[in-house]
Amino acid sequence: MSRRAQPEAVGPTPNPHPPGETERSEEIRADVSRGDDESVAIRLKALVIYLMCGPETPELAQAAVEGGADLVELGFPFSDPLADGPVVRRAAERALARGMRTGACLDVLAATRERLPGTPLVPMTYSSLLEAHGWERFAEDARAAGATSLIVADLPAGEHPEVRRVQLVAPTSTDERLALAAASSDGWLYLVTVTGTTGAREELSPALAGLVERARARTELPLYAGFGISTPAHAHAAGELADGVVVGSRAVEVAEDGPAALATYVSSLRSALD
């Protein structure tokens, strides 16, 4: 692990800049996805692991980072998650049954930040939670608890620009929408590899190559590919095209077996990427 650059700029003080400042994007780009040394950067691919918020999440997040994750997404569960397949949906149902409402999730985020002062932490959630909490207040409270940015799965680019966040683009996105999303995305651009919801697939989506090509033509932001990536082979193949990969559903499943299992799984992805 030591050869990989630590993302210094986002820790140990988690939030050096208020949202909307462009430096932040630059820092994440420079430090997370490419490393400080450009010669290293060419080899390095970012590995993003998604975990659903729960009492054991800080420990799991630490295990993921020890296994080689560069960034951790923390799912704030919503009752009706349209973008999610069965695994994340069930995890959300369980989390809600355990009381993981916005306040509890912010506590989990803060506890995770304590354990991982240097790792970018990005809550991923749905509009209804922001609507209820207050759009700007949600972003502020998340930042105060240690969030590096946000992902809102059902909030398309162009809407609520006051909420600075990582934008998602999909194979169906037009070139205009790709450009719009890239122009407002916070640090990196999330490429949804499939036309579909989250969850493991047999093969890496053939749509990724074309999406990477169209996105590269429109932005210099790092491109991380997610949805449907679950195996080291997927991670390797996606890493050949994009600057990083996001693994969600499979990580959520493995996390049920505890931190050691998660660390082992994440390091298998790490090895496949490097």
CB of 82 to another protein, least distance (A): 5
Give just the sign of the alpha carbon dihedral 59, 129, 47, 208.
positive
Tokens encoding 128: 């209804």
- What residues line the site for another protein (CB under 8 A)? 78-83, 85, 89-90, 93, 96, 101-103, 126-133, 153-157, 159-160, 167-174, 177, 181, 192, 194-197
Residue type, 91: A
Answer yes or no: are the C-beta atoms of 202 and 172 closer than 8 Å.
Answer: no
C-beta of 160 vs 218, nearer to another protein: 160
Answer yes or no: are the C-beta atoms of 41 and 222 closer than 8 Å.
Answer: no
73 in active site: yes
Interatomic CA distance for residues 168 and 196, integer angstroms: 13
Work out whether strand 244-247 and strand 223-226 pair parallel, antiparallel, or are unpaired.
Answer: parallel
Interatomic CA distance for residues 79 and 91, integer angstroms: 11
154 in active site: no
CB of 144 to another protein, least distance (A): 18
Closest CA to 187 of 70, 18, 26, 48: 26
CB of 99 to another protein, least distance (A): 10
The active-site residue out of 31, 84, 186, 243 is 84
CB of 135 to another protein, least distance (A): 10
Interatomic CA distance for residues 50 and 227, integer angstroms: 11
Question: Could you give phi then psi for residue 52, rounded to 5 degrees?
Answer: -80, 140
CB of 171 to another protein, least distance (A): 8
Interatomic CA distance for residues 33 and 47, integer angstroms: 9
Interatomic CA distance for residues 166 and 153, integer angstroms: 10
- Burial zone of 38 (CB within 10 Å; 0-12 exposed, 13-18 middle, 19+ buried): exposed
CB of 266 to another protein, least distance (A): 26
Answer yes or no: are the C-beta atoms of 65 and 72 closer than 8 Å.
Answer: yes
C-beta of 62 vs 197, nearer to another protein: 197
Residues designated catalytic: 73, 84
